[in-house]
Structure 1
Amino acid sequence: MTKTYLVDQSFDASITTSYFLSIRSSSGGLSFCVLDPVTNTYIAFANIPFVDKSADGIKTQEVLLQEELLQLPYKKVLFLYESTKATLVPSALYDQSKHHELFALNHSATDDEIELTAQKIRMADAWNLFSIPRFMYHLVKTQFESVSFYQHYSPFVETCLLASQKKQGESVMHISVHEHFFDLVVLKNRKMVLCNSYNYKHLNDFLYFVLFAFEQLALDAKQTQVILHGISNKQNPLYKELKKYLQQANISKATTQFKFSSHMRIQESDKLLFHNLFNLAICV
């Protein structure tokens, strides 16, 4: 994937304190976008692909310190960290003083090199408790003093639940595809019954976990809608193979919660691939 850098002509560096900046960190690099909340329109988008396996995130640090748009002040800064190390805790059971205990229910909480943080997913009435590498946490915190941290379940679940409000009585499976894992969110009658992530290396791994979820949740393959996110076209092998088993499978559409400046000419594929980034402002 090549670098993308788009800035609308309406972007005004003198009034960025009225804009929202959303940043996404993933295994494939760093991407960010700028939202004008007055018009509810994205007026800047950048994707800088790289692989950073260093213990202290040297490449990530370089991008954060060198990209011009990231040096400006913003009204809100939202930092999205993509990782499977997260757990959803019902609000009735959530206790901020017990982060390590709650996190340890699903993940190792003995690592001294992580920070645990949580954000509420309002429509799910649950808290998303997740870990972020300590070096990354402090790196971002140093550059953006008032930053809010998120894990990708937050925008994904909020988006799925928002879309379900007009689907009373229906069952819907949402699949969000990442480079080495995918997320499953299953809704029945507008209520979430599953939210989980699965690592996969091969196509058969992907199919196994999806079809196993259908079996375990007693979903009707002919009646359950299956929506794939993070895939930009129907030639994708995951989509083509899944379609053989689940005829109701379709690729998601770009966010309907926000607009994109027509002058930037963001590719439709980018709107789909970076869906969590573009939906992150829903969480504010």
Structure 2
Amino acid sequence: MVTTNNETNHYKKLSIQVSLNGLSFCILQKDTISYFKKVNFKKQLDPIKILKKIEEIYEQEEMLNQEVDEVNLIFNNALFSLVPEKLFDEEQAASYLKFNTRILKTDFIAFDNLKDEIVNVYIPYTNIINYFFDRYGEFEYRHGLSILIDSLLELPKETTGPKVYLHALFGHYELVIIENGKLIFANSFEYDTKEDFLYYLLFTAEQLNLDPNKFELILMGDINKDSEEYKMIWDYIKNISFMGPFHPFTFEEKAKPEQELSEYLLIKSL
């Protein structure tokens, strides 16, 4: 089958990010993001209540009811475990999760194959998968940490020591550490205060023998120079920067987020 330029120009890709404390949506058409919507919850919700929120948004947002050619769904939760590919057995997938999360008999276990011979085993929300399957048919879904790790492993390899990447969201963050193009650490931390935010970062650095005066901390996600968390870590870590340009797309004016870095995973999934 030959794809014409006209078909390419009208090809629409929808990306949806689902977390316990918020939702975000965007639509890419060719190289332009034509739609963006973000909804923050005041508190964490369970998957049943999240689905109700999704249904409400689809009733209100006309742009989400247009036909699209491709759908990507991102789950962002702490229900995951990273496993070396050579040790992974699909039939034993639940066993990799039982030590760090509570598993119910009804839970569906999914996994993503990552770069660097890593498998991310996780629990998605099946009620939300079923909702989008009924609406769109077959589609792709991945865990947010999978997208984050793969995107960082694609960056040019450097030999200047470990780089610590912190992807912040409301109430939690992912920490990914890469050295010489190899993943050496990845985890997710929930926090209530800026002191908690700092503690997990410094504790991880201490456990890995990383000197706060030497390693580079690169920030992305929902954090900026006005954030209380940023102001606190600035007193303890010497080399801090924000992720630079990370995508080739343009935004229609009505679809531009306040901070592009806050939608890193959503955009990188396109």
- TM band (smaller chain): 0.7 to 0.9
1:191 is displaced (CA, Å) by 0.9
CA change 1:264–1:166 in 2 (3 A) is: farther
Match of 1:30 among 23, 26, 39: 23
1:105 is displaced (CA, Å) by 4.0
Q: Distance in 2 between matches of 1:85 and 1:194?
A: 17
Equivalence for 2:164: 173
For the residue of structure 2 that corresponds to 1:183, the secondary structure is strand
State TM-score, norm by structure 2: 0.86
Is 1:278 equivalent to 2:267 in the alignment? Answer: yes
Is 1:119 equivalent to 2:112 in the alignment? Answer: yes
CA change 1:23–1:204 in 2 (3 A) is: same
Q: Distance in 1 between matches of 2:158 and 2:86?
A: 26
| Structure 2: runs of 5+ lacking an equivalent | 1-5
Question: Could you report, residue by residue, the CA deviation over 1:126-147 in whole angstroms, capped at 9, with x for unpaired residues?
Answer: 1222112332222222212111
Equivalence for 2:79: 85
- Count of residues in correspondence between the two structures: 262
State TM-score, norm by structure 1: 0.82
What is the percentage of aligned positions where both structures have the same residue?
A: 22
For the residue of structure 2 that corresponds to 1:153, the secondary structure is helix
Equivalence for 1:243: 234
Q: Distance in 2 between matches of 1:35 and 1:21?
A: 6
Equivalence for 2:184: 193
1:224 is displaced (CA, Å) by 1.0
Equivalence for 1:44: 35
Match of 1:72 among 55, 66, 71: 66
CA change 1:253–1:27 in 2 (3 A) is: farther
Contact 1:254 1:271 in 2 (8 A): no
Range that drifts further, 48-57 or 87-96: 48-57
Q: Distance in 2 between matches of 1:170 and 1:247?
A: 14
1:75 is displaced (CA, Å) by 2.7
The residue identity in structure 2 corresponding to 1:48 is V
Equivalence for 2:244: 253
Q: Distance in 2 between matches of 1:137 and 1:111?
A: 18
Q: Distance in 1 between matches of 2:126 and 2:157?
A: 41
1:104 is displaced (CA, Å) by 2.1
Contact 2:18 2:74 in 1 (8 A): yes
Equivalence for 2:3: none
For the residue of structure 2 that corresponds to 1:241, the secondary structure is helix
| Structure 1: runs of 5+ lacking an equivalent | 1-11
Question: Could you report, residue by residue, the CA deviation over 1:147-184 in whole angstroms, capped at 9, with x for unpaired residues?
Answer: 11111102211222222x24234210011112121111
Match of 1:231 among 216, 222, 230: 222
Match of 1:130 among 119, 122, 125: 122
Q: Distance in 2 between matches of 1:279 and 1:127?
A: 19
CA change 1:98–1:72 in 2 (3 A) is: farther
Match of 2:153 among 154, 157, 161: 161
Q: Distance in 2 between matches of 1:55 and 1:21?
A: 22
Is 1:266 equivalent to 2:256 in the alignment? Answer: yes
CA change 1:76–1:168 in 2 (3 A) is: farther
CA change 1:66–1:153 in 2 (3 A) is: same
Equivalence for 2:56: 62
